[in-house]
Amino acid sequence: MKGINIVVCVKIVPKPEEVKLNLETNTLDRANASSIINPPDKNAIETAIQLKQIYGGQITVISMGPPFFDGFMKLIISMGVDKAILLSDRAFAGADTYPTTKTLSQAIKKLGNVDLVICGEESADGGTGNVPPGIAEWLNYSQATYCHEIDYDASEQRFIVKRSISDGFEIISIPKPAVVSVELNINTPRFPDFSLKKELDNNKHKIPIWSATDLDLEPNEIGLSGSFTTVDSLIQAKGLERKQIQIIGNIDDIVDQLVDLIINK
Amino acid sequence: MNSKEIWVFIEISDTGVEPVSWELLGKARELANKVNFLVTSIIISNKESKIAEEAIARGSDKVLYIIHNECSHYSFELFTKIITDLNEKFKPEILLMPATHNSRDLAGRLAIRLHTGLTADVVQLDINNQGILLGAVPGFGGSILAIIKCEQSIPQMATVRPGIFQSILPDQNRKGTIEYIFPQIKENLKETILIKKITLNKEDISKSPRLVIAGRGISSNLNEIRLLAELINGGVGVTRPISDMGLFGREHQIGSTGISVKSKLAIIFGASGATHFSSGIKNVETVISINLDHKALINEVSDYFIIADASEILPRIIDKLKLKMELIK
């Protein structure tokens, strides 16, 4: 195949500010939170589209989530990717990064001949940033995380990336196939083509759904039973014991008191 | 006696040891004392250095110092391979790593290769009598903490962001052993090529004794925020929206997805006080906030709060401060 065969891993997450803590059951109530595409994943999609525009190739989006996320997959296709697949199985639930990365990597294997996997830097819900290097390990691909720029050297079959590190940036070259993660806001994700979205909705375009069986995954490799970490308990974060003194008065009084506080601290 | 070990990965960058490594070592010492484990520092470099001695002075019982000529700079291939081989040989119970970009790049890959559990970005760490690590991870918004454990596999891995734990001041009288290891690694293992490094002098606001923090409500007055910080000899912190807008770098972002600060004073302008922000100012001694909304959460996490237009108050504070400083001169 000519060009780059790209897979983008996308997560649909609840809007963080809409998730409430149920104080009676001490559990998180996500039911009333609306879902969005994990913000840096949109930058990952945009990165893939820009690479395809330059070098040609194909873009497939994969996402773990319930079948009713197919609307999001159609939205993503309307942004300009070629194909979107949902990895959906009740048995995937409760997975930590170990079975999550296993599941995603099995889907990438099944697609075959992949040159580049692009992920967002981390997910907005309990984001750890550990998924991209985890996928790379399962697939024995090279990796680069926290990237700002990604380019392809077709003659060398390598990707040249600029990534941010503690004391600045580095530019590294990694061989294909590779997994990269991109930072939030590295580009401006394009708007979906809403007429295409409408068309996909109208002609009942079916988003393929791959289950654990489709991915050759055993029950003990996925979900909660495939996880190494468990939740021991949930506790209320310690309240901040603050004085909570309101400074009142006219603006000159307030400024005077503030300046005194600042000078004395 | 073959004692159980807690390992701490000491991350080295061009500017020296990442300070968060010493913070982890301080915490590891405390945990180890509780259950009578040993603390081992893992150092990977291309040459010998005084870092080994410093690791002992800061709480290590043992240092495994790995020297390889291609390890002047981080690469996922070599670092994953080296720690995997060390793990095979020594089988530590626990492995703590900084939640910096490079160490997370490494930890995510390593956890899969070692077939073990990884608890990312913990904000509290404890250990029970059985030697099981208990890591607290903030849930949505940070108002709830999930205590995560990994009982079926070792090493139990955890990553920790900068500013969460306290490092121990070096004690030159502490005793410990240093073991140098020169690994034989097949030559073509490392395929990553470093083309260029751009070192920036990024400001480390986690060390700043005074902070001026800007939220969305003051986003059009950021120059005045900088000016006030300069006047009080402090650093600038921002909430996530300001950082997301690209107005300040991530190294200035405070909260559960940024850094935690422990300054003596923080003056916060125009922030609503969402819990994922507030978790980052938990260890600040005195918090002062100015915002328009009398119902905002920020009021509850402040020692002193003012309900006013932050953009109106800010220039007046600057003027008044300048005046007072003139008088002091």
Tell me the DSSP string of B36-65. T-EEEEEEEESS--THHHHHHHTT-SEEEE
Strand order in A83-87's β-sheet? A209-210, A83-87, A57-64, A4-9, A116-120, A178-182, A142-153, A158-165, A168-175, B193-199
Spatial CA neighbour of B62 closest among B81, B79, B37, B35: B37
**β-pairing verdict for A209-210 and B133-138:** unpaired
User: Tell me, what's the ipTM?
Assistant: 0.90
| Distance in angstroms (rounded) separating the CA atoms of residues A205 and A74 | 8
Residues in chain A: 265
| Distance in angstroms (rounded) separating the CA atoms of residues B98 and B89 | 23
A163, A164, A169, A170 alpha-carbon torsion, rounded to 10°: -30
Which residues on adjacent β-strands are paired with residue B136?
B124, B147
H or E element in which residue B113 lies:
helix B101-113
- Hey, are the CB atoms on B112 and A98 less than 8 Å from each other? yes
Predicted confidence at residue A171, as pLDDT, reads 97
Closest residue to A171, CB basis, from B100, B152, B196:
B196
Quickly count helices (H) and strands (E) in chain A.
6, 15
Whether B212 and B237 have beta carbons less than 8 Å apart is answered as yes
Q: Return all residues near B229 (Cβ < 8 A) that are at least 6 apart.
A: B210, B211, B212, B235, B236
| Distance in angstroms (rounded) separating the CA atoms of residues B199 and A169 | 6
- Hey, are the CB atoms on A165 and B144 less than 8 Å from each other? no
Residue B295 has pLDDT above 70, yes or no: yes
H or E element in which residue B96 lies:
strand B94-98
Predicted confidence at residue A23, as pLDDT, reads 57
- Hey, are the CB atoms on A245 and B200 less than 8 Å from each other? no
Closest residue to A145, CB basis, from B105, B199, B301:
B105
Q: What is the CA radius of gyration of chain B?
A: 22
Predicted confidence at residue A218, as pLDDT, reads 96
For A164-183, what is each residue's pLDDT tens digit?
A: 998 889 999 999 999 999 99
| Type of residue at A107 | A
Predicted TM-score (pTM) of the model is 0.86
Whether A162 and A169 have beta carbons less than 8 Å apart is answered as yes
Closest residue to A231, CB basis, from B18, B146, B306:
B146
Whether B210 and B265 have beta carbons less than 8 Å apart is answered as yes
| Type of residue at A212 | A
Determine which of B200, B261, B306, B327 to mutate to test the interface with A (most A C-beta atoms within 10 Å).
B306
Cα end-to-end span (Å), chain B: 64
List the pLDDT tens digit at each of the 265 positions of chain A: 579 999 999 999 987 667 666 656 555 666 677 899 999 999 999 999 999 999 999 999 999 999 999 999 999 999 999 999 999 999 999 899 999 999 999 999 999 999 999 999 988 766 678 999 999 999 999 999 999 999 999 999 999 999 999 888 999 999 999 999 999 889 999 999 999 999 998 888 899 999 999 999 999 999 999 999 998 888 876 655 788 999 998 999 999 999 999 888 7
CB pairs under 8 A between A and B: 255
